[in-house]
Structure 1
């Protein structure tokens, strides 16, 4: 029981710090621009620098989860994440900052390729609940990241924010040190090429991959462009509050879905909130503007907050012996969507306007509902 508690606390603390380090980058972009004297175009490299390394590590570690020494991999990766945050804080030139960011993404991805695997074996009969709590920890970290950036910048240099995050990873090392892997994780199967091909054809895995690719695209669009869109109808100083309102809704939303996941079938619950998200997104990005936008994106956040953890649980539940590869596929699909959709929206904004581009996440939300509806009908 003590070991399970320490593993859970370590993973939840790690995921909160992971989210904070992701969301803090956007908040500090103007500081990077002035400190490193780079153009806005070069600032765009921040997102892929962190994401590419992350996705590579998730895939490699996730697909070898049955072969790697899990506790050693997590310890080494957490230590590297802390050191690399320190390197980002001290980087004298932009190229070194991006290199450290890429390697930091690798270290985060190595743990993210294993964290849900560990939780899956710690809580084999409560995956929906624990995956939703895991995502709740991410939401708390995501809200905290921009707040930390604002606090640090108000008083001192932006580099201090990365130093504080580096120190934050140290308790994770203390929690994991000396722990054995959870009971049952030895049943995690190394996946062969034939088994991977079969896994990729499993209906639940196909639905999870397609659904999370679309969900990631929606979240990427919101994380990147919502403050810009809000600036069209809100004072510039208040526009970032739209993203804060959206992310804040993830906390009560994921608490609610944690409770519901033990009472309602994952597939039905996820389909219901995906359907509810469509009118909520249309209201937020088409109908309302100004201060009403803040309330509407909070409501939207309530419905979006449960989609990633519950869809992930559907895939892992279907193939528990391959939870590592299933987790890798789902997490990678999400981050591909996060990286690609905001980039696609950029040219649309240049040619048309931000209002037109914000129709894309509305369309994607309909796609999520179609995927989950097909899965429900095929059950």
Structure 2
């Protein structure tokens, strides 16, 4: 777990220094004051990943040329710096050459936010990102395979758009997509298998009902990438884009055998999203071998008391939980002794608990 967090020119924060207690902390304030950015900084520091941005550049304060995040965690001093020249990652003052080296020495994260309901009713992209975030925390090779697949996919799509097709070059990238795509699909399917037993438990715990929650994987290659590329070759040349592969993977979410995105109520969809994130934490803990840090971004205003209480009861007592909220009306006595920070206009002040 993290014991401190320091920010420099990150989002709306010119500078910030926080002590983070073992059990966690509450960050209270109006919207657009910087609460979510604090949790985002933790996610970037621990996993080199932002749940809100596709690159590091938007994380930099608008008038700055670089940003820095640092903190003490897992008995190490962690630092991430980014400028227009690129990113640097340091552990105990020593700069590391690769992201993989950095991540091997860090912790695990579960991010929970209001947008999680889109896992149930949104497009397949959100569900792919859900799997990617779990897979990359459990398997260092997954992150590498996904990066190489994405670069090859971009290059292959550009080749398919050229007026005169260079089939040898297209085939070379096809082979790269097959190699890394099969790895990605296999890892995603494995994670869904790991999630299945935990989903049954988390769904029951949050809903308070005997509801059956299940996933049904839908590979974008139909099970064989080699055959998929053979069968889509003509359509690809006509549509000028790659039509098979894990960039088209998805999975159905079934509640009592029915598609949850179509048949579940708003309350049920939010419950399913909570169950999915809690199951993620269970898998990271049991397979990844470390207790993850739980980052809960302003989710309690959208939850009724039953689901709110069920969520707090299910979260591991020994896990560090960092929670943002606009008010404390929902808070029960179990959290009354927690450290509370008032976040306002890019500052965070520790309040008396």
TM-score by length of 2: 0.29
Q: Which has the larger radius of gyration?
A: 2
Structure with a larger share of its residues in helix: 1
Structure with a larger share of its residues in strand: 2
TM-score by length of 1: 0.27
